[in-house]
A and B are shown apart, each in its own frame.
Chain A
Amino acid sequence: SQTIHQWPATLVQPVGSPLSLECTVEGTSNPNLYWYRQAAGRGLQLLFYSVGIGQISSEVPQNLSASRPQDRQFILSSKKLLLSDSGFYLCAWSPDGTILDRVGTQYFGPGTRLLVL
């Protein structure tokens, strides 16, 4: 079975500090990977997605960047955090389309709570 991990679970960072959130998937190969942000009481905003190593698509221009150094690893980064970067960050994966009854389905990790002070 497939599992998805995110760490850290909670992070408190000062404004202007760097950020690195990590997401890894086990039990599958060549997954599509996603980063979402969710503000308190709000819906999900897609930040980045990746269909392969080194392939990153950005949905929203912002202070963040993403990288995919390995097939099952997805990293969300920032050089200097802003107060507005606070939120709940979710990583997700979806199959590459070879499993027909799971086509398009996204599976989410446990998330990271980020508070920028």
Chain B
Amino acid sequence: AQTVTQSQPEMSVQEAETVTLSCTYDTSENNYYLFWYKQPPSRQMILVIRQEAYKQQNATENRFSVNFQKAAKSFSLKISDSQLGDTAMYFCAFLRGWAGTASKLTFGTGTRLQVTL
């Protein structure tokens, strides 16, 4: 079974600064997908970024980027120019190789990020 570990329960960053959230996973699969989701106080889960394991290039979405280290099974999220609206719980998630059926995500326990003035 796959496991996803987020070792930082809480983090804090000042507005306009950069912060990195850590995520490691354990799998014997070679083909899989990784995701970061954001859950603000409204509690709706919002997709932040998606990475395909077979792609060596790190995914980026505006101020959000990942550092995907496949050999180390590490998938960290970097938030640049942090904004107050980035305050949220962040979840890392893993999906093993697509089999044409429902995607059963494995989630980490989350990192609570607080952006301060």
A residues neighboring B (CB under 8 Å): 32, 34, 38, 42-44, 46, 49-51, 57, 59, 88, 90, 92, 94, 97, 103-111, 113
For the complex formed, measure the closest distance between the CB of A87 and the CB atoms of chain B, giving whole angstroms: 11
Residues of B within 8 A of A (CB): 33, 35, 37, 42-47, 50, 91, 95, 98, 100-105, 107-110
Q: How far is the CA of A34 from the CA of B93 in the complex (A)?
A: 15
A103: nearest chain-B partner, CB-CB: B98
B103 touches A94 (CB 8 A): yes
A109 neighbours in B (Cβ, 8 Å): 44
Question: How far in angstroms is the closest Cβ of chain A from B2?
Answer: 13
Chain A minimum-CB-distance residue to B112: A41
Residues of B within 8 Å of A97, CB to CB, are: 98, 100
Q: Known contacts A104-B33, A104-B95, A105-B35: does B102 contact A57 (CB below 8 Å)?
A: yes
CB distance from A55 to the nearest CB of B (A): 9
Q: How distant is the Cα of A40 from the Cα of B20 in the complex, in angstroms?
A: 25
Of A34, A43, A104, A113, the residue contacting B110 (CB under 8 A) is A43
Q: Is the CB of B98 within 8 A of A104?
A: yes
Bound: A79/B52 CA distance, A: 41
Count of inter-chain pairs, beta carbons less than 8 A:
57
Whether the Cβ atoms of A32 and B35 lie closer than 8 Å is: no
- Closest CB of chain A to B22's CB: distance in Å? 16
Supply 8 further A-B pairs (C-beta < 8 A) apart from A106-B103, A113-B43.
A43-B108, A46-B105, A50-B102, A51-B102, A57-B102, A94-B103, A104-B33, A111-B44
Pairwise interchain contact A105-B45, C-beta atoms closer than 8 A? no
The distance from the CB of B77 to the nearest CB of chain A, in whole angstroms, is 16
- Contacts A43-B109, A43-B110, A94-B103 hold; do A108 and B91 have CB atoms under 8 A apart? no
Check B91 against A44 for contact (C-beta < 8 Å).
Answer: yes
The 3 closest A-B CB pairs, nearest first, are: A108-B45, A104-B103, A32-B102
Chain B nearest CB, measured from A42 CB (Å): 8
Distance (Å) between the CB of B8 and the closest chain A CB?
14
A43-B107, A97-B98 are known contacts. Are A110 and B44 too (CB-CB below 8 A)? Answer: yes
Compute how far the CA of A92 lies from the CA of B103 in the bound complex, rounded to whole angstroms: 11
